[in-house]
Amino acid sequence: MQYISKVTQKGQVTIPAPLRKLLDLHTGESVQFETQDRKIVLSKQKSDIRESFGMYSVKRKVTLKDIQKAIEEGPLDDLD
């Protein structure tokens, strides 16, 4: 099924009701955008950290000190 929505001056779009229902999206919830082969993939942002467990793999032991340092340094700009 295909749905069309226009981009507003602020860069906002309306997610069509059937897609909101499919993703179980409700007012105030967050969504996640990813790009795959020049397409945007929209998914519901997981609200519970336990739901996201295993989403990322770490190849080394991460200490609390490592986590605190990463928080202080802020987000990475070169994720691609």
Domain boundaries, the chain: 17-73
Q: Which pLDDT score is estimated for 79?
A: 55
The span from the CA of 68 to the CA of 61, in Å, is 14
Nearest to 23 by CA among 4, 47, 54: 47
Q: Which pLDDT score is estimated for 71?
A: 86
pLDDT in single tens digits along all 80 residues of the chain? 899 999 999 999 999 999 999 989 999 888 999 999 999 999 988 765 555 555 566 677 878 888 888 888 877 665 55
CB 55 within 8 A of CB 45: no
The span from the CA of 45 to the CA of 42, in Å, is 9
The two tokens of residue 2 are 């295909």
